[in-house]
Structure 1
């Protein structure tokens, strides 16, 4: 059995629903196929030259380790998705700069965030900006009323 090295980091790493269920089902199918193959090997082995049981145990241990590594990769994907969602939510009210499709640098204040299967998308003045396109984030300057209280060196305040 061969496993693609990048299998744990699939294109839909931001998809939180269904991905771990599919991976679990695939792992269960693979394990069932492995066990059926092992039973067939035991059933049809040469009785005068039996297969070493240690080899089967080693294969089973390798398969179990592979399953656990896949579970860790799935958990890491879920954690990354949640972390990206929190990061996008934290940008609401911030001024972001991004490069648009024409290569122009633009900026605006984030008014909301949407979570798609491809990743978080920021809403800036009605335009959808993928989180990966953002090049900088800044806190906008406070344009509200100024504080009219002043503090004197003695520590008392006066208006």
Structure 2
């Protein structure tokens, strides 16, 4: 279901439910128990999606908190294009989308590229 958001699915479901109720056969009405079960399952799914979103935000905050301690540290990292091992000092961190990025001697480095962290030699 790529490209379908929770909001879109909710709107589509409610529109379908409304059309179904408008066009139901008066001699064979919708089973109320089935409708309540469907709404319950839909509500549970929506709750899980909200929980996943909150967990993703928590993980980003956790990664930011851990990254703050890297400012002023010397790091080694793998260059994403050349694959070379490079090193430098972390001067700042920022987010780009959902990813925490570090500024290492003028180069932008992703957390997943870091291979070593150490104190700066005096």
Both structures adopt the same fold (TM-score exceeding 0.5): yes
**Number of equivalenced pairs:** 121
The 1:28–1:113 alpha-carbon spacing in structure 2 relative to 1, beyond 3 Å, is: closer
CA-to-partner distance for each residue in 1:36-91, whole Å, 9 max, x for gaps?
32122122122232221111101100110111111101101111221222222211
State TM-score, norm by structure 1: 0.65
Q: CA deviation at 1:99?
A: 0.9
CA distance in 2: counterparts of 1:90 and 1:115, whole angstroms: 15
What does residue 52 of structure 2 align with? Answer: 73
Whichever of the two has the greater Rg, that structure is 1
Q: Superposition RMSD on alpha carbons, in Å?
A: 2.3
The 1:118–1:70 alpha-carbon spacing in structure 2 relative to 1, beyond 3 Å, is: closer
CA-to-partner distance for each residue in 1:93-112, whole Å, 9 max, x for gaps?
11211111212111222122
1:115 aligns with one of 72, 75, 95: 95
Matched position secondary structure for 1:65 = helix
What does residue 61 of structure 1 align with? Answer: 40
What does residue 112 of structure 2 align with? Answer: 132
Compare relative contact order (CA 8 Å, sep 6+) and give the higher one, 1 or 2.
Answer: 1
Contact 1:111 1:125 in 2 (8 A): yes
Q: CA deviation at 1:29?
A: 4.5
Equivalent residue runs for 1:41-56 within 5 Å: 41-56=20-35
Matched position secondary structure for 1:48 = coil
Instruction: Give unmatched runs, 5+ long, in structure 2.
Output: none
What does residue 148 of structure 1 align with? Answer: none
Contact 1:38 1:56 in 2 (8 A): no
CA distance in 1: counterparts of 2:88 and 2:18, whole angstroms: 63
Structure 1 runs (4+) greater than 3 angstroms displaced: 26-30
